[in-house]
Amino acid sequence: MRYSYFSFLVVVLCLVSCRENNPLSSNGSPGVIVPLHVGNTWVYQVITLDTLGDTLSVDTGMTQIMRDTLISTPGRWYVDNAGQFATVEPDGYWRLNGGRNLFLRYPVRAGEKYVCRDENGASSLEALVISKSVTLSVPQGEHSCYLYQFYNSATKGYLRYYVEPNVGIVAMVVMAPDASGGTYTSMMKELISYEIKTDSY
């Protein structure tokens, strides 16, 4: 009996250890900041605005993982319909633009800062993790998101990414500089629908 209790205790401790070493999404399942698999699809409403906040246009955009490919470092990369290469590693979501680029660090702490590059690999961005628990309502529904902010010192503008682990990018906001030296929201991209394959990672 004593042996059985000891064995049970060892199993419980192992399970707790595994849970602590494996980041969890809001629904409690093992999390990656952006799930990648061929066929994963995200559909967005894209709104552009002027400096007064009036809507200039409303459109629909889609990101879909089209194929995967093997590259020597680190290995498997996924290619979307815009030709963007991305992969997920234990430290987050990487892009292949002007070299390997850790774009969304994960796991991460609120207040953490790091440097990455923009989508074209042309400019350095100063990244700041503002929060790990922002509740955001978009056309698709309500999400609990990590909020990443990226500052471009060349343009004096900001990007804000709202990302839910195991779902991906829920919203993106572009804050452009205005004539007064401040910023205004020039574009918003919000999730309308998504499809994630069950074996994504």
Asked if residues 166 and 132 have their Cβ atoms less than 8 Å apart, the reply is: no
The half-sphere exposure of 195 on its side-chain side, counting CA atoms within 13 A, is 8
pTM of the model: 0.83
pLDDT in tens, 35-87: 999 999 999 999 999 999 999 999 999 999 999 999 866 679 999 999 999 99
Between CA 25 and CA 30 the distance in angstroms is 6
Architecture of domain 31-195: Beta Barrel (2.40)
Strand 168-177 versus strand 183-195 pairing type: antiparallel
pLDDT in tens, 81-104: 999 999 999 999 999 887 889 999
φ/ψ (deg, to 5) at 77? -120, 155
Boundaries of every domain in the chain: 31-195
